[in-house]
Amino acid sequence: MNTIVETSTNWRDYYELTKPRVVMLIVFTAIVGMFLSVPSWPGAGALIFGTLGIGMASSAAAVYNHVLDARIDILMMRTRGRPLPQGKLTEKSALVFATILCIISMLILVFLVNTLTAILTFTSLIGYAVVYTAWLKRATPQNIVIGGAAGAAPPILGWTAVTNEVEAGALLMFLIVFVWTPPHFWALAIARKEEYAKVDIPMLPVTHGEAYTRLNILLYTILLVLVTILPYLIGMSGVIYLLVAIMLDAFFMYYAIRMYRVPDDMELPMKTFKFSISYLGFLFAALLIDHYLLFQLSI
């Protein structure tokens, strides 16, 4: 009898397959979407089961991504230490694990949250695991721009888990993550340009060169600055969020400008990539804190 436990008794390997740090950020943006969808408390049921369902679906997508990329991961320094390239798990056991996560997440969302959230979550999972990983990633240097829609979906998923509707606020948070994704990932692509070229992945710095990619990072960062001001301009958030957003945007612009003007600094792209992760986390935390304080002041 071939079971997951027999394939590997080290559950840490399965945990690593889920890309826990990435999933934590994804789930956090979904939780912020839940809280911002209503003036007050979103409800324990939606918060608990929505978070669980979205988190498990995101984990499933991450595992499918590992399986589809296993053959190129072994050739890249950044990914060769993952469980599948190291032979700690088989692709079959990983697929079984991902499918179990996917099924359970859909059951939770359909029966304990709402059907709309389940449909959107499944669409996002397919968008990332299949459309992006299996096709776009290898088809076009705009892969991360187009495929970024799947990664930007969690705030919408969190919003619909509470309201069962897709509204303007959810779409604005989606837009923030969508615009953030290219400069975030292209910074990594510059740092790992040779590795992507080695495995024939047409990332922008591989196909169009670093100078063009650095320019695009700067342009997208400028667009991101404009987009992150919108929640304040439309009354979705207050001064606290605005001040934090301006501060974070200033740092991101600093990194983007330096990357464009100082191409010889080989450590800067990875520093920019790491900062961009903190940037998104702090930005959404500011949205959450601002929303909560505005609610307290209104009662």
- The two three-digit tokens of residue 163, written as one number: 């309201």
For residue range 45-96, list pLDDT tens digits in order.
Answer: 999 999 999 999 999 999 999 999 998 999 898 899 999 999 999 999 999 9
CA dist 57 to 6, 26, 37, 157, Å? Answer: 24, 11, 21, 11
For residue range 194-229, list pLDDT tens digits in order.
Answer: 999 999 999 999 999 999 999 999 999 999 999 999
- The two three-digit tokens of residue 70, written as one number: 């296993």
As assigned by CATH, the class of the 1-166 domain is mainly alpha
Q: How far apart are the first and last CA of the chain?
A: 60
Residue 7 has pLDDT above 90, yes or no: no
- The two three-digit tokens of residue 83, written as one number: 């469980």
In this structure, are residues 84 and 73 in contact, taking their beta carbons and an 8 Å threshold? yes
User: Measured between alpha carbons, how far is 135 from 128 in angstroms, rounded to an integer?
Assistant: 10
- Looking from the CA of 258 toward its CB, the CA atoms found within 13 Å total 15
- The two three-digit tokens of residue 38, written as one number: 């209503």
Sequence spans of domains, the chain: 1-166, 168-299
